[in-house]
Structures are given as structure tokens and as C-alpha cells.
Chain A
Amino acid sequence: GQNIDQPTEMTATEGAIVQINCTYQTSGFNGLFWYQQHAGEAPTFLSYNVLDGLEEKGRFSSFLSRSKGYSYLLLKELQMKDSASYLCAAMDSNYQLIWGAGTKLIIKP
């Protein structure tokens, strides 16, 4: 079956770095997305990886290893506004997104 695993909740300190891991199993693979979702709001796009390696975009970076079925989202210089849920989603061979349950990130001062 198809499955996405990511931690339920993580806590980090303002100004620090946090890495949110995601492992996936899908029927075929057409890329891995990370979305940010604040409580009561819709998800917003953060990154898309389809090739192995690290993609850096400002304070956020995303990594993919296709052979390991593994991705992570790295957040640097954490700010209070980064408190949100982070959703990992893998695109299968039918270009459908398979969503993880999300990781709730709590930032403490």
C-alpha cells in the first residue's frame, strides 16, 4: 500500500534549527512536496523535490533520497511564526498526492 510517515509533533527553540523527516512508500514516484499549514488555514506550498539532493530556499531547505524513500525539511533561524503543521506529500504514478498526517511544530521562545 501507499504510506507516508512523519513525526506527529516536534518542539524547537526560537533561533534554532529543526529537521522534520518524512518517509514514503508509493506506487511509482513523481516527486515530494512539503506544505505549511497554520491552524484553521489551508496549506501553502513550501517545496517540491523530484531529484535526489538538497534544495535551498531561504531559511527552508528540503532534501530527497529516492533510493531510501526519504525526505526532510530543514528550517533554520526559527521564528515564532514558523509554529505550524508541516505536511509531507508524495506524488504517485497517477500524479495523485499521498499525504502524511502532518508534523505539528511548536516553537518556544
Chain B
Amino acid sequence: GAVVSQHPSWVICKSGTSVKIECRSLDFQATTMFWYRQFPKQSLMLMATSNEGSKATYEQGVEKDKFLINHASLTLSTLTVTSAHPEDSSFYICSARGDRETYEQYFGPGTRLTVT
């Protein structure tokens, strides 16, 4: 099956610093990648959709200058949380979609970010 990896799996950073999260599709080419955020006991919240080689499309209320997304290749997308604050602490999950006929999104294992 399709495998998506995320790195790091967890990270603790100080307020004001930036954190980069990588999302890789290991055995397929991901034309579209999605970034989600999930707070405890809540559902997934889509932050942005990125297509390889083009700018990401951000959901309403998500600051594009704070959450920088780069989808430089068909197997790699990165999310950088800039000037992180404690309220940015959350579970960040990426997913990738390759074969458009199935529309299935394959999820990475998630990254737990804690900002102190």
C-alpha cells in the first residue's frame, strides 16, 4: 500500500522559534498533499492543500505567512510553523493523494508539536 512518512514525529520548541515538518510519499508520486491540524478530542481541520510546483491553497482563517508550505517535488511537502506560540501546540498530520481515480488520502503518522 501507499506509505507516507512524517518527520519529526514529535518536537518541542520555544516560543518565537520556527519548526519545519516534512511529509514524504515513499512509494508513490503525490500530486496533491494536504496539511491538517488536530486539537485533542477534536476532528481534523484542513489547513491547506498543496500541489507540486504551485502555491498552496490555504483554508479560511489559516495564516499563510505563519504556516509556510512548500511542495517542491512529487514526494515531498514541508510545513514550517514560523514564530511558534503555545497556541500552535497541536497534532499536525499530512496526507497525500496520488491516483485521482480513487481519491483516497494516505495519511502520515503525524507530528506532535509542543511550544513552550
Name the 3 nearest CB pairs between A and B, nearest first: A42-B107, A101-B43, A42-B110
Q: Flag the segment in B14-22, B64-72, B98-106 that touches A.
A: B98-106
B92 to chain A, nearest CB (A): 10
A-side interface residues toward B, CB under 8 Å? 30-31, 33, 35, 40-45, 48, 87, 91, 95-97, 99-102
Tell me, yes or no, whether B93 is within 8 Å of chain A by CB.
yes
- With both beta carbons as reference points, the residue of chain B lying nearest to A102 in the complex is identified as B43
Using Cβ atoms and an 8 Å threshold, which residues of chain A touch B104? Answer: 33, 45, 48
B contacts with A, residue count (CB < 8 A): 19
- Contact partner of B93 (CB less than 8 A), chosen from A30, A42, A95, A102, is A42
- Residues in A whose Cβ lies below 8 Å from that of B110: 40-42
Tell me whether B62 is interfacial, beta carbon within 8 Å. Answer: no
Q: Besides the contacts A45-B104, A102-B43, what 5 more A-B pairs have beta carbons closer than 8 Å?
A: A40-B110, A43-B44, A43-B107, A95-B103, A101-B43
Query: Which chain B residues in 59-90 approach chain A with CB under 8 Å?
Result: none
Between A and B, 15 residue pairs with Cβ closer than 8 Å are A30-B103, A33-B104, A40-B91, A40-B112, A41-B110, A42-B93, A42-B107, A44-B107, A45-B106, A48-B103, A87-B43, A95-B103, A97-B46, A97-B105, A99-B43
Find chain A residues with CB under 8 A from B93 CB: 42-43
Interface string of B32-66 (1 = CB under 8 A from A): 00000000001111100100000000000000000
Query: Does B108 contact A42, Cβ atoms closer than 8 Å?
Result: yes
Task: Evaluate contact between B43 and A48: CB separation under 8 angstroms.
Answer: no
Q: State whether the Cβ of B8 lies closer than 8 Å to any Cβ in chain A.
A: no
**Contact among A44, A87, A95 with B44 in the assembled complex (CB-CB below 8 Å):** A87
